[in-house]
Amino acid sequence: MKKFIKFKNLAITALTVLFLTSCSNDDNGPVVVPEQTIVDIAVANPDFSILVQALTKANLVTTLDGDGPFTVFAPTNAAFTAFLSANGFANLDAVPPAVLKEVLLNHVVAGKNLSTDLSTGYVKTLGKGSASTSNTLSMFVNTTNGVVLNGGTTNGGATVTTANIQASNGVIHVVNGVIGLPTIVNHAIANPSFGILVQALTRNDQPDFVGILSGTTSSPFTVFAPTDEAFVDLLAELELSSLAGVPQAILENTLKYHVVTEANVLSTALTNNQSVTTFQGGTFTVELPSSGPQIRDANDRVSLIIATDVQASNGVVHAIDKVILPGS
């Protein structure tokens, strides 16, 4: 596992509660079990006072005071104040309780995950959007430079500022932002492997794909998202030097061909020889050979589905290793 970053041990003072930083592998001393729950620690820390108010309003105090274990990415008061202002809420009471509950649960991951337990990739939170009743929201953790969650504060995510505050029922990592319920676009931006896809979606001669895939009209969406390597291979296949060389209509039709509207199709719902009608209007075929799920496009080209069920609030993303092309 990749390590997040090295964090300074937090001092224990009379005004703070007792907690432990994670022990190194070389520490042969006795393991002391923290006596306070996640809620106890939050209540005792003045910088979590809005978080405690939010947990109370959303009826989640009992949940996070339970056995767990839980990993909680805990926003500070400053993070909550910025969130309320950015979303037009006068105060915490103005946030609909149902929305507040899911936002808070989107900061909680099942299990105790210390900084040494997490690496770059997706984890599942306990939050849900409106797209699926069974598949909880995904969170992209990027440990390349610090610990960035869902692309950081500019993308509705956050950065860990203090890690490994251990509790009797889990661990707290302090974050500098309230992590919103991610859309399809938020997930695309957060994952560096989708960098060229984001460039394609935002090219100035294209429809407002960001607006479409961030919204709820025609949602939920199922997006088969090509990786950067897939786009590089496509450009070589088309003998083009860059994305700018792809004609406007071809790029638009190709991008729409990767999107299914009004369906949150999880990997468990894919069937062999399934014909899928796309946002572009054309179809492709899902195949389930023993080697793994794949897509056969209108040109008989095959793309492997290499990651599945990245859940957003308005749809689901599956990563593919080749750009699929609609028929002419």
Domains observed in the chain: 38-175 (2.30.180.10), 184-320 (2.30.180.10)
- Mean pLDDT, all residues of the chain: 91
**What are the pLDDT digits (tens) for 100-156?**
999 999 999 999 999 889 999 999 999 999 999 999 999 999 999 989 999 999 999
Mean pLDDT of 285-312: 97
pLDDT in tens, 166-184: 999 999 999 999 999 999 9
Confidence (pLDDT) at 3: 34
pLDDT at 11 over 50: no
Max CA separation in the chain (angstroms): 72
Which pLDDT score is estimated for 33? 60
**Residue 19: what pLDDT?**
36
pLDDT band at 35 (very low <50, low <70, confident <90, very high): confident
% of the chain at pLDDT higher than 70: 90
| Local confidence band at 52 (pLDDT 50, 70, 90 cut-offs) | very high
**Cβ count near 112 (within 10 Å):** 15
In the predicted structure, residue 16 carries a pLDDT above the cut 50:
no
Look at residues 293, 285, 290, 287 and name the one whose alpha carbon lies nearest to residue 267. 293
Please report the pLDDT score of residue 34 as a whole number.
74
